[in-house]
Structure 1
Amino acid sequence: MEIQIRNATEKDLPAVAQLAGVAFHPTTDWITRQVFPLHLQPKNIPDGEAYLPWRQLRKTVSYNTSNSAVIVAIDTTLDNQIVGFAVWDQPIEDEQLPAAPAEPELPPAVSDVKIYEELQAILKEDHRASFGDRELKDVWHLDMIGVDPLHQRRGIGKGLLTWGMRQATKAGRDCYLMATPQGRPLYEAFGFEIVRPLNMFGVMHHSMIYRVNKEAIL
């Protein structure tokens, strides 16, 4: 089997951050471009590199948060190269824990902090509209999923998505995510329903929920 899905290790985190930088590069991902506008990027390094340390810190925070799971897809024919990853936030069993990992501070010199705060406010409002005051505490939340552009159409995204859906199904919990226009067809194919459209800085995203049938087996 060429592609295997497993839990990330701490040693994987730099590679995961690097892959996130490729999968969500500002030249191809609208939201990334808004948060890290071109006019703030240093001229002496390639676009997208200035905030790679922030990406790694963000993945490290998720890795070290008890209710988060960082999952990787590796290609066993390429010396176990990481070709995809996903970050899933799990339901909260301990009420003292936060519903999501704490966001590390953005690098202010290269980012639009106001835009990022607006983005977080949009997401928080949707969480409350979908689940009430408990927000994401009772659902499996797909925070991020990324696939190496050179390894797309190999079922990697499906494998990373299925991993979390299986965990949610076993526990009888719903799954929630915010879909980009590119990701929406995959999620719809897996049974996610659109809850509401959200206009994010001119591009329509969709809040989506997979409602678990406790008798279903993925």
Structure 2
Amino acid sequence: MTIILRKATEQDIPLIAALASKAFHPASDWITRQIFPLHLQPPTVPDGEAALPWRLSRKTASLRGPNTASIVAIDTALNDQIVGFALWDLPVGEEETEAEMVTPAEAELPADVTDLKAYAQLQNLDFIGVDPNHQRRGIGRALLSWGIEQATKAGRDCYLMATPQGRPLYEDAGFEVVRPLDMFGVMHHSMILKAKSVNGTRA
């Protein structure tokens, strides 16, 4: 078994969207269940797939955005099957200006299966996703390490929002809690990994 990370391509988008639907399924993911309540999911659509067109549009916008890095983890023993993905927001470089930063158009939510009031409270739905059938293989850690390495090379801090389940992974990587944030009754944490804390000195 070999896991390889590479940049996502246009051809990967449907697979990433489908993986996100499994990794962030309303039956198992608390936040997704608030945004896409199970009672709104139509019985004629396969379980958890009502939001798939929205995820597809959202991942397309992310891939095409110049300020986002879309990374996939593939398993070479499974014919290069995508088993995880990460979406990283990239900072504006020192030589760039705020006006030059491009933000992809937000994908339109499927109003009939979405709790729009709940979504309005949300900042980001997902950044790192791992196929439930391939968890506990170090895939999430590898995707996280990729982003940390890029931030370290650039001498930049790294920010993220951690779920209760993800917090131990981020703390092991050196992230520190900035502040807690109550999201739908579950405590999440805004976390930071300062560039100097990666190797003791600022790059």
Q: Do both share a fold (TM > 0.5)? A: yes
Q: Distance in 1 between matches of 2:198 and 2:86?
A: 25
- Cα 1:3–1:167 shift into 2, 3 Å: same
Q: Deviations over 1:182-217 (max 9, x none)?
A: 111000000000011111011111110001128839
Secondary structure in 1 matching 2:120: helix
Aligned residues: 197
1:167 equivalenced with 2:150 (yes/no): yes
Using structure 2 for the length normalisation, give the TM-score.
0.91
Counterpart code for 2:73 = A
1:110 equivalenced with 2:113 (yes/no): yes
Q: Deviations over 1:126-181 (max 9, x none)?
A: xxxxxxxxxxxxxxxxx600111111111111110011100000101101100011
Q: Distance in 2 between matches of 1:103 and 1:147?
A: 23
Q: How does 1:35-114 map to 2 (within 5 A)?
A: 35-93=35-93, 94=96, 95-98=98-101, 101-114=104-117
Q: Deviations over 1:107-140 (max 9, x none)?
A: 11110111111223xx7xxxxxxxxxxxxxxxxx
Q: Indicate if the aligned counterparts of 1:169 and 1:214 stay in contact, CA closer than 8 A.
A: no
Using structure 1 for the length normalisation, give the TM-score.
0.85
Q: How does 1:7-26 map to 2 (within 5 A)?
A: 7-26=7-26
Q: Deviations over 1:20-46 (max 9, x none)?
A: 011000011111010111221101223
1:103 offset after TM fit, Å?
2.3
Q: Distance in 2 between matches of 1:8 and 1:198?
A: 31
Q: Deviations over 1:1-57 (max 9, x none)?
A: 610001011100100000001100001111101011122110122331111010011
Q: Output the aligned Cα RMSD.
A: 1.9
Q: Percent identity?
A: 65
1:97 offset after TM fit, Å?
4.1
Secondary structure in 1 matching 2:189: strand
Show structure 1 runs of 4+ deviating over 2 A: 97-103, 214-217
Secondary structure in 2 matching 1:196: strand
Aligned equivalent of 2:131: 148
Counterpart code for 2:143 = L
